[in-house]
Chains A and B, each alone.
Chain A
Amino acid sequence: CALHVICCNAGQFFSSGHTNNWAVLVCTSRFWFNYRHVANTLSVYRSVKRLGIPDSHIVLMLADDMACNHRNPKPATVFSHKNMELNVYGDDVEVDYRGYEVTVENFLRVLTGRLPPSTPRSKRLLSDDRSNILIYLTGHGGNGFLKFQDSEEISNVELADAFEQMWQKRRYNELLFIIDTCQGASMYERFYSPNIMALASSQVGEDSLSHQPDLAIGVHLMDRYTFYMLEFLEDIHPASKTNMNDLFKVCPKSQCVSTPGHRTDLFLRDPGSVLITDFFGSVRKVELTMDAINLTDPIKQMEENPVNGEEQKEVYSYADQLPVSEIIHQKPKQKDWHPPDGFILGLWTLILLVFFKTYGIKHLKHIF
């Protein structure tokens, strides 16, 4: 019956569990010859914006300014394709953290939300426990670390701990982590929080290579992995039903030279049921209806395939940060400091001794 169909569709509405989308896009390298990293980040930014995530939900961190760099022969542009086919800088780029503000500390503060009260909203990741977050990192990396600004690095352990903090503070529903650096797979090795899916452009021991140089601009414009991912994303539109398994197939070894990797063991849903637009877009499912719908019946969830046949994972729950109940009900300790009795005795004996020594023993008989 129609009602049953609507109920099933309503179940499909809430299958992914998220109500809003966020994106944190970080380019960690500076200097003109790292043009491609900025172009990487900006192309992902462009796709994500095109698919519906607004600027207020994107935290864009660019460590250097390529569009207005002195060495840019075409100022105010950042190209992602040779022959200057695609300007990813555009007219409406909103960079939230620029230049020297892109540091490990700021990145971790954005993720965990521990920012000073004076930070403006555009610099905050105001996600909640129904947010799907896309985190994209690019730059120079190594086995277990990612270099920021040529002066500091973030390690995979720090990143994993930051994600665990986010999980414990209920700052995400599901997280998609994409990293395009050399040995990128080492960065997601240490994740241990649930609901994280990770993709990397190369395995440990491999370098991610850049795509093509543009002879007019003089530098390499994009990295291979992000280039092919951008091509893939250009075909996605807000209503497309492409799922994550297709994203895993982007940039095979023949095109990328390095072997892209991915990690889905922490993710509760089957990647085949996760839509690209769950992370890259901000899709609001709207269905117009002229009929009144009776929602008293409990909404049945779509049958979920068991996740690769693994056993049921333990139920994750909110960890208590502070034993608040103990603190509230604790009575203040009434201990008041008093000097030791022996001390008082000794001090006053001394004072009396000095007094009698000074003024003579004869005074004693006036007291006793």
Chain B
Amino acid sequence: MAAPLTLLLIVAVTIRAALFRSSLAELIAERVEVVSPITAWKRVVEGLALLDLGVSPYSGDVFHETPLIIYMFHFLVDYAEITFMLADVITAVALYMAVKEYNKQVFRKQKFALEADRYPMDSLELIRSPKEMYYIPLKVAMFYLLNPFTILSCVAKSTCGLNNAVLALFFLSTIKGNVLLSAIFLCLATYQSIYPITLCAPAMLYFMQRQYIPVNFRRVSFWWFIVQYLFMYLGSLFVLICLSFFLLGSWDYLPSVYGFILSVPDLTPNIGLFWYFFAEMFEHFRLFFLCVFQINVFFYTIPLSIKLKEHPVFLMFMQLAVISIFKSYPTVGDVALYLAFLPVWSHLHRFLRNIFLVSCVLLACSVLFPVLWHLWIYAGSANSNFYYAITLLFNVAQILLVSDYFYAFLRREHHLTNGLYLKRKDGSEATLILK
């Protein structure tokens, strides 16, 4: 599998290099769907310039990335294009290796279940074989690298690519079972944008499953593991924050980075849900609705964890999707990351119900975003409502996609335990629905 992967990497790097050299690079770097006030490359350059002039890069509302990014790009600013291409490559390779490992585990669990005769006879057609799972890692890498969203995000040099790389490395270290590295990468991802903290739950669930710790509130081993993981996580977070203070000598990165993400002062239109709402919000209610919107990201963790406690990797996928949809400044780079996981659940295709609608809506919205932006900003014949309508539609399609996969996954699990052809008590055929 190394050869096709290498070929894929070469193709991907070629496409990105070609786009970097073309005139499209500046055009893409300005699109609001691809860059946000946090991730824009222009702002990183501004921050570095301010630093060279002896002024804190966080003065003024220009730079909202973390000090470690400054440190990295202080030395790498001339090689920025290579850095972002490398980040994409690292993400793809990490996802490839992680999904390969995950497939091995899935297959092993399935083998044990088969030997223990836990599957009813008619659901045997739902069993997965290594042959069909052989190309999934390559497909995952391909879905990530050749996704137009990823290519746009890389050509725009948006730091979302770096965030995706860290998240992919976190995923890889979790699947491989390395608790320390997983805590450290998750800490790095949280340090950059706050939302990956919700990925603690699936990571902990996965480790507990791997180390055979029962997920039971009354067990000491459960709480002990949680304490260990959180200690490593919070410890590395603390170390990172102190290092950042030491780097620039002041704490003013805290309100500029985390205060900015949480309090959403910049209402530039993006593909998220925050900007339009808060543009028309009265000051009196702003804090309330800010809390409501931010809680929306963190809110789904506990219920989803309870439901999916045996399937932590799917939980991780769901959580990533929820973060990408509901975060305060989403970009298409965030969308690309969870879209890369879709081949892992390709065996659910027979239970997906809305996939045609979702894919049509996603395609149409992606095309309509620049069109309505042009109509609104340049032609002046539309207004922000048009653009927000497309944003809403895009997010609704994403939510529909995620919930559809959730339904399909749960339905397959149900069929695996209860048989494929469900019958009601009187013998007539029944269907499962997700309420």
Using a CB–CB cutoff of 8 Å, the interface residues on chain A facing chain B are 333, 335-340, 342-343, 346-347, 350, 354, 357-358
Cβ–Cβ contact A346 & B243, under 8 A: yes
Main secondary structure of the interface of B (DSSP, over half): helix
Cβ–Cβ contact A354 & B54, under 8 A: no
Interface size on B, residues (CB 8 A): 14
Given the known interface contacts A337-B74, A340-B246, A346-B243, the answer about A354 and B184 at a Cβ–Cβ threshold of 8 Å is yes
Q: Is B127 an interface residue (CB 8 A)?
A: no
How far apart sit A347 and B184, CA to CA, in the bound complex (Å)?
Answer: 13
Cβ–Cβ contact A337 & B71, under 8 A: no
Given the known interface contacts A343-B246, A346-B243, A347-B243, the answer about A337 and B180 at a Cβ–Cβ threshold of 8 Å is no
Q: Is B52 an interface residue (CB 8 A)?
A: yes
Cβ–Cβ contact A350 & B239, under 8 A: yes
CB closest residue in chain A, given B173? A358
29 intermolecular pairs with C-beta atoms under 8 Å apart: A333-B54, A335-B54, A336-B52, A337-B51, A337-B52, A337-B54, A337-B74, A338-B74, A339-B71, A339-B74, A339-B247, A340-B246, A340-B249, A342-B246, A343-B71, A343-B243, A343-B246, A343-B247, A346-B246, A347-B71, A347-B243, A350-B243, A354-B180, A354-B181, A354-B184, A357-B180, A358-B178, A358-B180, A358-B181
How far apart sit A335 and B184, CA to CA, in the bound complex (Å)?
Answer: 34
| Chain B 385-403 interface 0/1 with A at a Cβ cutoff of 8 Å (1 = within) | 0000000000000000000
Residues in B neighbouring A336, C-beta threshold 8 A:
52
Using a CB–CB cutoff of 8 Å, the interface residues on chain B facing chain A are 51-52, 54, 71, 74, 178, 180-181, 184, 239, 243, 246-247, 249
Chain B min CB distance to A29 (Å): 35
Residues in A neighbouring B178, C-beta threshold 8 A:
358
Residues in A neighbouring B239, C-beta threshold 8 A:
350
Chain A min CB distance to B46 (Å): 14
CB closest residue in chain A, given B181? A358
CB-CB nearest 10 A-B residue pairs: A337-B51, A343-B247, A343-B246, A339-B71, A358-B181, A337-B52, A339-B247, A357-B180, A336-B52, A358-B180
How far apart sit A335 and B50, CA to CA, in the bound complex (Å)?
Answer: 12
Residues in A neighbouring B71, C-beta threshold 8 A:
339, 343, 347
Cβ–Cβ contact A340 & B52, under 8 A: no
Chain B min CB distance to A340 (Å): 7
Residues in B neighbouring A340, C-beta threshold 8 A:
246-247, 249
CB closest residue in chain B, given A342? B246
How far apart sit A336 and B54, CA to CA, in the bound complex (Å)?
Answer: 8
Residues in A neighbouring B184, C-beta threshold 8 A:
354
